[in-house]
Amino acid sequence: MPAPRTVLLTGAAGGLGTLMRGLLPAYGYDLRLFDAVPVEGEPYAITADLADTDALREAVRGVDAVLHLAGISLESTFEKILNANIVGTHNLYEAARAEGVARIVNASSNHAVGRTPRPADGEPLVPVATPHRPDTFYGLSKCFGEDLAQLYWDKHRMQTVSVRIGSCFEEPTTVRMLSLWMSPADGARLFHAALTAEGVGHTVVYGSSANTRLWWDLSPARALGYAPQDDSEPFAAKLIAEQGELEPDNPDHAAIGGQWVSSPPLWPR
């Protein structure tokens, strides 16, 4: 497909949205911003909820692609997750289909496969084809998003790259994150690759930097043209000194989702 220029960024006021607002324009994108809350310093951003189907139709009209980050990003009640992440993502796909948008890059999460055991030293990396094993209602909603994307490719020929993001923050803050961390700069590299690669149909990739302690297979992301430049290892010594190594017998250390398996952080609203 021709390189997209105008991209709707949903979730533009959030943590990742704010990082991408800073980084993606350098790749030549003209970002249209959308969030349920106002985007600071951006008077032209669209302030609307994913429940507002009219606002979504207008928001996607004329864009080349969507980078869909909006939604509840932690665990919550099933009802709240249902409305924001499941119904909301369906509303976005319907609006994009009706307006002929060719591609969506969809923020999935490691928590779609959060109950998958993390590989021990020397064991094979977790492939993208591993079965869904959500650790939360939140992770379940990300499984739905991936399946929705597959349906819209099979039925409507709308392309999606679903990125199972690890932990995209300025720095890793836990020992677990040493394996899952995606630097913001690598995040922008991966989203750019996902927006521009040819022939993606519906492709699922893991989203992280090229971490020394990687748990999962980055080759599907690399096949899109993603060339990660960062590695969490420079943060390892300090985090391990503070928190200790991950222990094989600790259930909170045993799976990709880490502590989310037993006590996920809760959405504040």
Question: Do residues 82 and 35 touch, judged by C-beta distance below 8 A?
Answer: no
Chain residues 112-171 in contact with ligand 15L, contact rule CB under 6 A: 167
Structure tokens at 1: 């497909």
Question: Do residues 31 and 21 touch, judged by C-beta distance below 8 A?
Answer: yes
Annotated catalytic residue 138: yes
- Residue count, binding to ligand 15L (CB under 6 A): 6
Choose the stretch contacting ligand 15L; rule: CB under 6 A; options: 105-113, 152-160, 221-229, 231-239.
105-113
Query: Which of 36/193 has CB closer to ligand NAI?
Result: 36
Q: Closest distance between ligand NAI and the C-beta of residue 2, in Å?
A: 26
d(CA 155, CA 178): 39
Q: Where are the alpha helices (DSSP H) in the chain?
A: 15-23, 53-60, 78-81, 88-98, 137-156, 177-180, 184-196, 219-223, 236-243
d(CA 216, CA 141): 21
List the one residue from 10, 109, 159, 160 that touches ligand 15L (CB under 6 A).
109
Show the binding pattern over residues 77-116: x = contacts ligand NAI (CB under 6 A), - = does not. Answer: -------x---x------------------x-x-------
Classify 245 as helix, strand or coil. Answer: coil
Question: Is residue 179 a contact point for ligand 15L (CB under 6 A)?
Answer: no
Question: Is residue 111 a contact point for ligand 15L (CB under 6 A)?
Answer: yes
The catalytic residues are 138
